[in-house]
Amino acid sequence: MTLKIYNTMSCKSEEIIPGLTQDVSSGKSHPVTIYSCGPTVYSYAHIGNFRTFLFNDFLRRYLKFRGFRVDHAMNITDVDDKTIAGAARDGVTLKQYTEKYTDIFFEDLKTLNIESVEHYPKATESIDAMIDIISRLEKKGIVYEKEGSLYFSISKYERYGRLSNVESREIKSGARYDADEYEKDDVRDFALWKASKPGETAWDTPWGKGRPGWHIECSAMIRKIFGTTIDIHTGGVDLIFPHHENEIAQSEAAYDETFVRHWIHVEHLLVDGAKMSKSKGNFYTLRDLLDRGHSPRSIRYLLITSHYRKQMNFTFEGITQADQALERIDNLIVRLKDIRKTAPPGADAGSLADQFIDRFTAALDEDLNISGGMGALFDFIHAANALIDREAISIDDAQLILDVLKKIDSVLGVIFFTESGTRVDEARIQGLLDERTRAKKERNFARADEIRDSLLAEGIILEDTKEGTRWKIRK
């Protein structure tokens, strides 16, 4: 089985071959280099943004599940028109303004159980790399200056437009171009470096004081971190043109080598069938949904279980269905933990587990077909429940099934998940349960209640039964 993912550049599903090393055995020792366009930290990210960030997380988790190593960067855009305007409006420095929203963004990632990546470069810390690209382009005669700003001249770069397949006449007609308040020679050209207005944050460069254009930021951070062609670049479909097209133009013109081998784009999220907008009242940040009482776990479940290349329609009905799906999984876990029968592992549980892992992997290998993967998971849950109903399952079988669920959850990140967004530490919970049992025996009910309440605050519910205390995760 090989993992194939759709490449926007070639319009085909293609195998992921890290570093283009053809030999699979050595290929696996080469990390998959990934760059994901990150947030512009000027406000709270909305759930459409989080669909893309959750996809990035799902992609890296699946690559690791398939035995690849990953070396993943996501940038923080901490200087652009919106952040500068926001800082001026609030009367704070650009740094104070962007740090506030950067912290909020990282809290939201943690809430959604999104893994940390290896690099979080900031635009303002990568100015040297931007100057290097612009200097190279200038030597090649691709840059021109107008009123203190520097522009990339698209007429000097013949290969422009391969990713989006946008006809140049369409761009020239002005239907979809990079709107910019500055004067340009050609409507298609884009700013590499912008003249700063008095009082704005600015950096010294060989061309005088100024600040970066948005597109150059990603090209510079990729070069600075990876130094050469990367395997995968991800982002929302709205970034294909002009942002990613411009990244390709400036990087390939500057360094004369392929910029990115595999482009992966995530489709839009709609809310109640319409594009999210504040005026329509269907615009939600993650925190808006939490304030309405929805759990981060259900939100994560809902956002990762629709295929990344299809538009997703977010509804509150969908969150309720996610709650129900998670409850089915949780109920199986409670039942598995209740098994007391001792016997050697039976053939049934083992073959069930193997078949499930094979089906799950075969589905996701085909352009990350999550629906097929979730179908396999719920068939597995159904079959495991049937084994329990027939009492054809021992403690060892139950543990094997739990281990398989943990393995799958290294990809999904929704099964062993608490409200605080941290992964469940079962040994710690068991330790607290044991302490609570001892406290009760010693008639120290205050301590026993204290333990129950502190676990409840983490989203862990205790149930006292004749066989002892068991626990489950609150939805």
Nearer to Zn ion, 111 or 234 (CB): 234
- Amino acid at site 96: Q
Beta bridge partners of 40: 77
Compute the least distance from the CB of residue 37 to Zn ion, in Å: 3
Nearer to Zn ion, 212 or 373 (CB): 212
- Amino acid at site 120: Y
Spatial separation of the C-alpha atoms in residues 16 and 68, rounded to whole Å: 10
Nearer to Zn ion, 37 or 319 (CB): 37
**Residues in 309-368 that interact with Zn ion by CB under 5 A:** none
Q: For strand 12-15 and strand 4-7, is the pairing parallel, antiparallel, or unpaired?
A: antiparallel
Nearer to Zn ion, 249 or 400 (CB): 249
Compute the least distance from the CB of residue 13 to Zn ion, in Å: 23
Stretch binding Zn ion (CB under 5 A), from 35-43, 49-57, 410-418, 462-470:
35-43
Compute the least distance from the CB of residue 75 to Zn ion, in Å: 7
What's the distance, CA 267 to chain centroid?
13
Compute the least distance from the CB of residue 218 to Zn ion, in Å: 3
Residue 8: closest CA among 237, 169, 229: 237
Compute the least distance from the CB of residue 214 to Zn ion, in Å: 8
Nearer to Zn ion, 142 or 218 (CB): 218
Compute the least distance from the CB of residue 311 to Zn ion, in Å: 21
Spatial separation of the C-alpha atoms in residues 304 and 53, rounded to whole Å: 10
Nearer to Zn ion, 40 or 111 (CB): 40
Beta bridge partners of 210: 195, 203
Residue 192: closest CA among 153, 239, 244: 153
Size of the site for Zn ion (CB under 5 A): 2
| Residues in contact with Zn ion, shown as a per-residue x/- string from 244 to 283 under the rule CB under 5 A | ----------------------------------------
Burial of 139 (0-12, 13-18, 19+ CB in 10 A): exposed
**In whole angstroms, how far apart are CA 378 and each of 39, 61, 111, 295, 329?**
34, 20, 25, 21, 8
Compute the least distance from the CB of residue 217 to Zn ion, in Å: 7
Stretch binding Zn ion (CB under 5 A), from 33-41, 110-118, 181-189, 260-268:
33-41
Stretch binding Zn ion (CB under 5 A), from 29-37, 128-136, 139-147, 259-267:
29-37
Stretch binding Zn ion (CB under 5 A), from 30-38, 185-193, 198-206, 302-310:
30-38
Spatial separation of the C-alpha atoms in residues 16 and 350, rounded to whole Å: 30
Q: Does 79 bind Zn ion (CB under 5 A)?
A: no
What does DSSP assign to residue 269?
Answer: E
Spatial separation of the C-alpha atoms in residues 172 and 204, rounded to whole Å: 33
Compute the least distance from the CB of residue 133 to Zn ion, in Å: 14
Which segments within 196-240 are labelled E, that is strand?
Answer: 210-212, 230-236
Spatial separation of the C-alpha atoms in residues 461 and 429, rounded to whole Å: 11
Burial of 303 (0-12, 13-18, 19+ CB in 10 A): buried
Burial of 457 (0-12, 13-18, 19+ CB in 10 A): exposed
| Residues in contact with Zn ion, shown as a per-residue x/- string from 189 to 228 under the rule CB under 5 A | -----------------------------x----------
Compute the least distance from the CB of residue 83 to Zn ion, in Å: 15
Compute the least distance from the CB of residue 239 to Zn ion, in Å: 6
Helix (H) or strand (E) holding 403: helix 395-412
Residues 6+ apart with CB under 8 A from 367: 4, 5, 6, 13, 309
Nearer to Zn ion, 163 or 329 (CB): 163
Spatial separation of the C-alpha atoms in residues 110 and 420, rounded to whole Å: 8
Compute the least distance from the CB of residue 238 to Zn ion, in Å: 11
Nearer to Zn ion, 37 or 63 (CB): 37
Nearer to Zn ion, 218 or 387 (CB): 218
Compute the least distance from the CB of residue 220 to Zn ion, in Å: 10
Spatial separation of the C-alpha atoms in residues 272 and 318, rounded to whole Å: 10
**Residues in 417-436 that interact with Zn ion by CB under 5 A:** none
Please give the backbone phi and psi of residue 284, each rounded to the nearest 5 degrees, phi first: -130, 130
Among 37, 154, 221, 248, binds Zn ion (CB under 5 A): 37
Nearer to Zn ion, 75 or 298 (CB): 75
The answer to whether 218 and 224 are in contact (CB under 8 A) is no
Stretch binding Zn ion (CB under 5 A), from 36-44, 104-112, 295-303, 458-466:
36-44
**Residues in 362-381 that interact with Zn ion by CB under 5 A:** none
Nearer to Zn ion, 212 or 421 (CB): 212
Nearer to Zn ion, 111 or 126 (CB): 126
Q: Which residues bind Zn ion (CB under 5 A)?
A: 37, 218
